[in-house]
Amino acid sequence: MSRRPAIHAAMFLLLGLGAWQLASAGWIHAKALLAQRLIASAWTQARDGGPARRPWPWADMRPVARLTLASRNVDLYVLDNASPRSLAFGPAHVGGTASPGGHGNTVLVAHRDTHFAFLERVEIGDELEFETAYGRRARYRVREVTIVDQGESRVLDEAGEALLTLVTCYPFDAVLPGTRLRYVVIAGRMA
Amino acid sequence: MDGKAAPTRTPTDLVGDMIELVARAFVGGVAAAVAMSLAILALSATAQAATVNEAKTGELLLATQTAGQYTVAPRIATEVAIEVSGMVARTRVTQHFHNPGSEHVEGVYVFPLPERAAVDRLRILIGSRAIEGRIREKGEARRIYSQAKSEGRKAALVEQQRPNLFTNTVAHIGPNERVEVTIEYQQALGYENGEYRMRFPLAVAPRYVPMGESAPIIGPRTRTAEAASGATLINPVDIAVFIDAGVPVASARSSYHEAAFSKAGDGRLVVQLVKAQEEADRDFELTWSLSPANTPRAALFTQSQGSIDYALLMVVPPQPTAAERAAFRAMPREMILVIDTSGSMQGASMEQARAALLMALDTLGPNDRFNVVEFNSVTRPMLPGAVPATSRALADAAAWVRKLKANGGTEMAGALTFALDGRDTPGYLRQVIFVTDGAVGNEDALFKLIQERLGGSRLFTVGIGSAPNGHFMTRAAQFGRGSFTYIGNVNEVNDKMSRLFAKIESPVLRDVKVHWPDGTPVETFPEQVPDLYLGEPVLLAAAARAPLGTVVVTGTSGNKPWSVALTPDADRSAAGVGALWARAKIAAHMDEIARGTALEEVRPKVVKVALEHHLVSAYTSLVAVDVTPTGPMGAIATALVKTSMPHGAANGTDLPQTDTAATLQLLLGLLALLAAGMAAVVGRRAELAGVA
């Protein structure tokens, strides 16, 4: 029958398309997971006071802090470059905001479907721990959760106190990328 | 699958099978069509996202202080009136806030202004009552504002976020109420190639940065489509410009917008936008020139304030004759071409950069010397040192450039250290052309490095791609005593690079010095006048503690000394010159931070100048507060008015895009697999039906 080759062709095309899309989706998640493993060893060195090493030779960034939320099983290495490229590998410190663990407003961003997917479950009162270079530790308590427009750069403004601001895209379960909204979690430094 | 039973089937079964087959083929076809269209959708996901998401969120619904509760953001209509007088423009921006909601809200409006705008006035108009804003230290202004807000009084706060980006926060806009906020600023006009140039940054739609490397700007397309369809503008902008040049304007042109030109009764030229604009992809740009007989060669505007005389000085260097230009060109150059090949340059950026470099190689002659350097995580020069630009060497270089690929990190320090060795090559003009997207974080360290190692070289930065770090590159060129060229797309490479090369081929005036009358202590900005290239004027702001007399400007034109004397003209007394000088002084102080001075040292200096001259700066804000409370006490909802982002700065201003296409891809992949499965079943059926 003359239909068969066409059906076969369609089948292989669809198979190919499916495999390609699944692989792309898998690649995003695989990068997110694998990179954090590679970054872990670079971090150990930075924490012990050595020069922060690049996790792999051609990397565009270095780890600068470690963020943990024990109650929700979160353990992430924070990078120093918030470009779209390095966001694939981990949460990043937004340049120009207070340095991690420092005085002022420290802003971190990460993808809503990988590293910062946990923000959806974060509640006011949760405690975050931040470990920075030379093994310094700082604890923060979540005090505010809000949703803003992407243009609201005030989220990045300096503050008179030590704040940790975590930003990711919203809604969390959106299918299409490119939302204008941002989910913002603001935590204040505890003693 | 029950196809195995086919040989024993009855005719009725066969008919049933045929019907099933057709049905499956149909479903399969539909599924395939859906999968295909979704695939197409995925490919254009970035373009779709803007409209889909905006439609979903209604774009003006914004969060209140209680999560999950939304309010309607106030709307804004903006009127811009620009009065041009000689070299100075005074702009009045009036923002009409309207709250269409049912609660008192606080409106936050982020808006761009020209880079060196000296913002010195804020006024709110409620009904017929006008309240003048006062300049205060930033923290204090915020306290005053917050207190007024908590007491239910109307207040407005204008803050500088970046040198070219400001926010206006207005408290207690009542339900269905209108509040008018006026902001005024002063600015010196650009003057180049005999033309005056003035820009007003207009809103630009958000720039989406997908998880990939290239950042397509989808804003203009969707916006224009909306505007064309006659959809109501949410935050319309109307612009009127009044030009008083003192002499007739020979020609005037609006670069990107349709504008109407007319003569007012008093001889002023009036320029108005034909239709109200919103979120155009380009700034409003107006250029005009005077008739050749009236074209200024030099101008000195002064303003006396108390015991201080402020001056704004402009000198247009002599146009070189053909012979002189030939002589300039004969002056051998040593050109070091540096190209950024880091990962962020992948795609279109790399193409533009390569094209720009090849053009640069084309301008070199046999008397010149050159070298090419690429850098990403490491710096890799083509040759260990500069060599004569023989046609053989140039051909090798072109081949080398064509093979360059983008990958790795951005380690700019190494490349700058290599290119700027702090030495002069005697007998050569040393020019470093630095092509990059400027995606670096350690700007200040790099500025310092440029300053320390510049020597006799000149650094020309060329910004590439849709979102280059313009701030970094402008400053780097300033510290490098060169200029910054921005190339937005591949089509512009030719035009922009030719202009750059035409310019740097002939420094028209070097070693420029300004001599003030003896004994007058004068503080000028910039402190050092850079080399002047074809078509560029000397532009200088000065303050003197004594009345200003004759000023002499000297320099070297070609190999000959050149000078011009200027006397302040009482008729040319201009308001706002003092504010421009103060703004330049603030910018100079802010530069000290880049040079390594501690922030704590710079801050009080900036605050002092800004308070004296009533200027908004990084550390001072304008705040206006109503006397009587009109709103509820306590917390009110905050709504961000849809913002206007300057083209090219949007990337730096927006919060980063943090979603990936993973979910979409997962869904599409599963759908496609499902469709493939159906196609397989259909195929198998067809096969079996054939056997039967």
pLDDT digits (tens, 9 = 90+) for B130-164: 889 999 999 899 889 988 988 888 899 999 877 77
Boundary of a domain, candidates B463, B484, B505:
B505
On whether any CB of chain A is under 8 Å from the CB of B618, the answer is no
As a whole number of Å, the CA-based R_g of chain A is: 20
Instruction: Tell me the pLDDT tens digit for each residue of B59-80.
Output: 233 334 443 344 455 667 888 9
Mutate to test the interface with B, among A108, A113, A119, A149 (most CBs of B within 10 A): A149
Chain B, window 33-62: residues with a beta carbon less than 8 angstroms from a chain A beta carbon? 35, 39, 42, 45-46, 48-50, 52-54, 57, 59, 62
pLDDT above 90 covers a percentage of chain A that reads: 6
Confidence band for B25, pLDDT divided at 50, 70 and 90: low
Boundary of a domain, candidates B470, B505, B540:
B505
What's the pLDDT at B36? 54
CA distance B96 to B51: 26
Among A82-86, B423-427, B489-493, B645-649, the minimum mean pLDDT is found in B645-649
Mean pLDDT of B374-403: 91
Is B448 within a domain?
A: yes
On whether any CB of chain A is under 8 Å from the CB of B469, the answer is no
Confidence band for A72, pLDDT divided at 50, 70 and 90: confident
> Is pLDDT above 90 for B214?
no
Q: Which residue has the higher pLDDT, A116 or B203?
A: A116
Q: Do B272 and B339 share a domain, yes or no?
A: no
Q: Which domain holds residue B24?
A: 3-50+661-691
Matching residue, tokens 């590679």: A38
Is B366 within a domain?
A: yes
Of B63, B645, B666, the CB nearest to A146: B63
Confidence band for B582, pLDDT divided at 50, 70 and 90: very high
Q: Do B353 and B263 share a domain, yes or no?
A: no
What's the pLDDT at A60? 72
The answer to whether residues A146 and B63 touch, using CB atoms and an 8 Å cutoff, is yes
Mean pLDDT of B169-184: 87
> Is pLDDT above 60 for B2?
no
Among A10-14, B165-169, B633-637, the minimum mean pLDDT is found in B633-637
Backbone angles phi, psi at A103, to 5 degrees: -85, 140
Of A54, A111, A177, the CB nearest to B45: A177
Q: Do B290 and B402 share a domain, yes or no?
A: no
Say yes or no for a CB contact (<8 Å) between A21 and B53: no
Instruction: Tell me the pLDDT tens digit for each residue of B460-475.
Output: 998 876 555 666 787 8
What's the pLDDT at B133? 93
Confidence band for B26, pLDDT divided at 50, 70 and 90: low
Q: Do B401 and B445 share a domain, yes or no?
A: yes
Among A132-146, B21-35, B259-273, B563-577, the minimum mean pLDDT is found in B21-35
Of B35, B666, B682, the CB nearest to A22: B666
Say yes or no for a CB contact (<8 Å) between B52 and A176: yes
Say yes or no for a CB contact (<8 Å) between B666 and A21: yes
Boundary of a domain, candidates B294, B309, B343:
B294
> Is pLDDT above 50 for B215?
no
Mean pLDDT of B551-579: 79
Say yes or no for a CB contact (<8 Å) between A17 and B657: no
CA distance A84 to B211: 6
What's the pLDDT at B534? 72
Is B259 within a domain?
A: yes
Say yes or no for a CB contact (<8 Å) between B658 and A7: no
Confidence band for B393, pLDDT divided at 50, 70 and 90: very high
Q: Do B329 and B288 share a domain, yes or no?
A: no
- Chain A residues close to B42, C-beta within 8 Å: 21
What's the pLDDT at B646? 32
Collapse the DSSP code of A81 into the 3-class scheme (helix H, G, I; strand E, B; otherwise coil) and give the result: coil
What's the pLDDT at B367? 87
Q: Do B426 and B475 share a domain, yes or no?
A: yes
- Chain A residues close to B662, C-beta within 8 Å: 24-25, 28-29, 113-114
Among B89-93, B296-300, B333-337, B624-628, the minimum mean pLDDT is found in B296-300
What's the pLDDT at B465? 65
Q: Which residue has the higher pLDDT, B286 or B438?
A: B286
What's the pLDDT at B466? 54
What's the pLDDT at A46? 67
B409: domain CATH number is: 3.40.50.410
On whether any CB of chain A is under 8 Å from the CB of B547, the answer is no
Collapse the DSSP code of B341 into the 3-class scheme (helix H, G, I; strand E, B; otherwise coil) and give the result: coil
Among B7-11, B315-319, B325-329, B678-682, the minimum mean pLDDT is found in B7-11
What's the pLDDT at B56? 23
> Is pLDDT above 70 for B312?
yes
CA distance B118 to B84: 15
CA distance B556 to A118: 65
Q: Do B380 and B475 share a domain, yes or no?
A: yes
Chain B, window 232-251: residues with a beta carbon less than 8 angstroms from a chain A beta carbon? none
Of B139, B659, B672, the CB nearest to A17: B672
Say yes or no for a CB contact (<8 Å) between A58 and B46: no
> How many domains would you assign to chain B?
3
Mean pLDDT of A77-85: 81
Mutate to test the interface with A, among B72, B279, B655, B670 (most CBs of A within 10 A): B655
Q: Do B268 and B393 share a domain, yes or no?
A: no
Q: Do B482 and B346 share a domain, yes or no?
A: yes
Provide the H-helix boundaries in B133-232. 138-150, 219-228
Pairing of strands B458-464, B369-375: unpaired
What's the pLDDT at B16? 64
Of B645, B659, B689, the CB nearest to A179: B659
Looking at the complex, report in whole angstroms how far the Cα of residue A190 sits from the nearest Cα belonging to chain B. Answer: 23
On whether any CB of chain A is under 8 Å from the CB of B410, the answer is yes
Q: Which residue has the higher pLDDT, B232 or B286?
A: B286
> Is pLDDT above 60 for B108?
yes
Print burial letters for B566-587: b (CB count within 10 Å at least 16), e (below 16).
bebeeebebebbbbbbbbbbbb
CA distance A98 to A115: 21
What's the pLDDT at B645? 37
On whether any CB of chain B is under 8 Å from the CB of A159, the answer is no
Q: Which residue of B has its CA nearest to A180?
A: B53
On whether any CB of chain B is under 8 Å from the CB of A78, the answer is no
- Chain B residues close to A167, C-beta within 8 Å: 655-656, 658
The answer to whether residues B153 and B627 touch, using CB atoms and an 8 Å cutoff, is yes
Say yes or no for a CB contact (<8 Å) between A14 and B675: yes
On whether any CB of chain A is under 8 Å from the CB of B211, the answer is yes
> Is pLDDT above 50 for B280?
no
Q: Which residue of A has its CA nearest to B25?
A: A7
Residue type, B342: S
What's the pLDDT at B103? 75
Cis peptide before B526 (omega within 30 of 0): yes
Averaging pLDDT over each range in B41-50, B100-109, B332-341, B634-643, which range is the top one? B332-341
Is B375 within a domain?
A: yes
Mutate to test the interface with A, among B61, B138, B660 (most CBs of A within 10 A): B660
Q: Which residue of B has its CA nearest to A172?
A: B659
Mutate to test the interface with B, among A180, A181, A184 (most CBs of B within 10 A): A180
The answer to whether residues B331 and B342 touch, using CB atoms and an 8 Å cutoff, is no
For the beta carbon of residue B650, count every other beta carbon within 10 angstroms: 25
Q: Treating both helix axes as pointing N-terminal to C-terminal, what angle do B443-453 and B412-419 enclose, rounded to 10 degrees?
A: 10
> Is pLDDT above 80 for B338?
yes
Confidence band for B637, pLDDT divided at 50, 70 and 90: low
Of A11, A80, A155, the CB nearest to B680: A11
Backbone angles phi, psi at B2, to 5 degrees: -105, 15
Looking at the complex, report in whole angstroms how far the Cα of residue B680 sits from the nearest Cα belonging to chain A. Answer: 6
Of A22, A81, A111, the CB nearest to B659: A111
CA distance B404 to B338: 12
- Chain B residues close to A23, C-beta within 8 Å: 669
Looking at the complex, report in whole angstroms how far the Cα of residue B254 sits from the nearest Cα belonging to chain A. Answer: 29
What's the pLDDT at B144? 92
Instruction: Tell me the pLDDT tens digit for each residue of B605-618.
Output: 999 999 999 999 98
Confidence band for A158, pLDDT divided at 50, 70 and 90: low
What's the pLDDT at B624? 94
- Alpha carbon of B428 to those of B95, B270, B510: distances in Å? 54, 48, 14
Is B110 within a domain?
A: no
pLDDT above 70 covers a percentage of chain B that reads: 75
Q: What is the token pair recorded at B157?
A: 């706060």
The answer to whether residues B208 and B216 touch, using CB atoms and an 8 Å cutoff, is yes
Is B300 within a domain?
A: no
Looking at the complex, report in whole angstroms how far the Cα of residue B689 sits from the nearest Cα belonging to chain A. Answer: 9
The answer to whether residues B497 and B483 touch, using CB atoms and an 8 Å cutoff, is no
What's the pLDDT at B57? 22
* ipTM computed for the complex: 0.80
What's the pLDDT at B98? 81
What's the pLDDT at B198? 86
Mutate to test the interface with B, among A4, A12, A20, A21 (most CBs of B within 10 A): A21
> Is pLDDT above 80 for B206?
no
Matching residue, tokens 């007989």: B293
What's the pLDDT at B605? 93
- Domains along chain A with CATH numbers: 3-190 (2.40.260.10)
Provide the H-helix boundaries in B317-376. 322-330, 348-362
On whether any CB of chain B is under 8 Å from the CB of A178, the answer is yes
Chain B, window 14-33: residues with a beta carbon less than 8 angstroms from a chain A beta carbon? 28, 32
> Is pLDDT above 90 for A33?
no
Q: Do B275 and B421 share a domain, yes or no?
A: no
What's the pLDDT at A2? 56
What's the pLDDT at A149? 74
CA distance B630 to B633: 9
On whether any CB of chain B is under 8 Å from the CB of A99, the answer is no
What's the pLDDT at B374? 93
Q: Do B356 and B448 share a domain, yes or no?
A: yes
What's the pLDDT at B277? 61
On whether any CB of chain B is under 8 Å from the CB of A149, the answer is yes
CA distance A14 to B682: 14
Q: What is the token pair recorded at B627?
A: 């006397």
pLDDT above 90 covers a percentage of chain B that reads: 15
Nearest Cα neighbor of B376 from B334, B345, B330, B422 is B345
Looking at the complex, report in whole angstroms how far the Cα of residue A132 sits from the nearest Cα belonging to chain B. Answer: 19
Chain B, window 334-353: residues with a beta carbon less than 8 angstroms from a chain A beta carbon? 342-344
- Chain A residues close to B686, C-beta within 8 Å: 1, 3-4, 7
Say yes or no for a CB contact (<8 Å) between B45 and A176: yes
The answer to whether residues B174 and B637 touch, using CB atoms and an 8 Å cutoff, is no
- Alpha carbon of A141 to those of A155, B74, B664: distances in Å? 17, 33, 34
Q: Which residue of A has its CA nearest to B215?
A: A84
> Is pLDDT above 50 for B434?
yes
Chain A, window 122-141: residues with a beta carbon less than 8 angstroms from a chain B beta carbon? none
- Chain A residues close to B53, C-beta within 8 Å: 174, 176, 178-181
> Is pLDDT above 60 for B266?
yes
Q: Do B250 and B329 share a domain, yes or no?
A: no
CA distance B568 to B566: 7
On whether any CB of chain B is under 8 Å from the CB of A33, the answer is no
**Dihedral over Cα of A84, A85, A90, A92: its sign:** negative
Is B15 within a domain?
A: yes
Average pLDDT value for chain B: 75
